[in-house]
């Protein structure tokens, strides 16, 4: 009996130590994509779900890894801070401010940024301050907005209403008409990149016309099991296919970041924090 208790205790201790390591150490994963819409290669770095996590003093390890990629732009998928009883904006602003001095930065909202805007009785003007500070640092904030990156690439950021983060929501509850109402039609001529925080609706993003959708939110499923994938999403969907990696929807690409941080469920197992690189090349 005691041997079983000791073995169980050792296993729990091992899992806790491993989880702590995975939360503080990230991998850089490169996804190679092709499109007839582009004639030259672009490398974008995608950051999502930092949740105030820190990788070295002054984010030095994360910044060094991004510099090694030497991207043409940095795309942010939201949830860079934790917004619960309070909202500490400084870690997110510090990082994106550093990046904006080196690269063009495009910032899309996640559910935590949206929460500041929605619950002003709790957070006051924190959302307005955050957006103002992003723009002051030269960051392009895309909340239901689009911008041409260059002559061949367009970037759009979709704002998802609170109901789309509900635990009872299904992937069929978001239609392309919702996206068109907020962003208009997807570009047919340019390579269309869409920042959309929740990957649950990746089918709708592809049908709207996004050549590449970049998502986060699911934290890789918290615990990843061999052959089964991510165990659980923040909305308590189990073994959801879209927890992480590169998917295809109607012939269009979706990359789901496993994220860089955690918050309420402060666990990662077989699921190291992730820095995403999207290499987009012509056919």
What string of pLDDT tens digits covers the 283 residues of the chain?
Answer: 665 555 455 555 666 777 888 888 889 999 999 999 999 999 999 999 999 999 999 999 999 999 999 999 999 999 999 998 888 999 999 999 999 999 999 999 999 999 999 999 999 999 999 999 999 999 999 999 999 999 999 999 999 999 999 887 777 789 999 999 999 999 999 999 999 999 999 999 999 999 999 999 999 988 888 888 888 888 787 888 888 999 988 889 999 999 999 987 778 888 999 999 999 999 8
pLDDT for position 231: 80
Report d(CA 74, CA 120) in Å as an integer. 29
Instruction: Please tell me the number of Cα atoms within 13 Å of 250 on its side-chain side.
Output: 13
C-beta neighbour count of 222 within 10 angstroms? 21
pTM of the predicted model as reported, rounded to 2 decimal places: 0.93
Q: At what angle do helices 90-100 and 126-136 cross, to 10 degrees?
A: 20
pLDDT for position 250: 81
End-to-end Cα, the chain, rounded Å: 62
- Whether residue 89 contacts residue 120, with contact meaning beta carbons closer than 8 Å, is answered with no
**3-class secondary structure, 201:** helix
**3-class secondary structure, 202:** helix
How many residues in total does the chain contain? 283
């Amino acid at each position: 009996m005691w041997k079983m208790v000791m073995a169980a205790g050792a296993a729990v201790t091992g899992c806790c130590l491993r989880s702590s390591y995975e939360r503080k150490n990230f991998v850089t994963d490169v996804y190679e994509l092709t499109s007839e819409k582009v004639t030259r290669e672009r490398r974008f770095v995608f950051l999502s779900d930092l949740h105030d996590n820190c990788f070295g003093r002054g984010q030095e390890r994360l910044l060094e890894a991004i510099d090694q990629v030497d991207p043409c732009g940095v795309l942010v998928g939201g949830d860079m801070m934790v917004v619960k009883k309070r909202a500490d904006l400084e870690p997110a602003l510090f990082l994106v401010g550093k990046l904006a001095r080196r690269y063009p930065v495009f910032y899309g909202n996640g559910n935590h940024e949206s929460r500041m805007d929605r619950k002003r009785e709790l957070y006051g003007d924190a959302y307005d301050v955050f957006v103002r500070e992003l723009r002051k640092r030269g960051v392009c904030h895309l909340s239901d907005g689009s911008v041409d990156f260059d002559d061949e690439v367009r970037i759009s950021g979709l704002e998802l209403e609170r109901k789309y983060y509900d635990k009872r929501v299904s992937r069929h509850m978001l239609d392309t008409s919702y996206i068109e109402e907020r962003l208009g039609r997807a570009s047919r001529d340019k390579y269309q990149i869409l920042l959309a925080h929740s990957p649950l609706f990746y089918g709708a993003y592809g049908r709207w016309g996004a050549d590449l959708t970049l998502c986060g939110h699911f934290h890789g499923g918290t615990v990843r099991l061999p052959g089964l994938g991510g165990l659980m999403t923040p909305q308590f969907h189990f073994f959801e296919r879209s927890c992480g990696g590169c998917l295809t929807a109607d012939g269009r690409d979706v990359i789901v970041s496993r994220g860089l941080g955690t918050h309420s469920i402060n666990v990662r197992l077989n699921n190291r924090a992730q820095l995403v690189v999207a290499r987009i090349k012509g056919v």
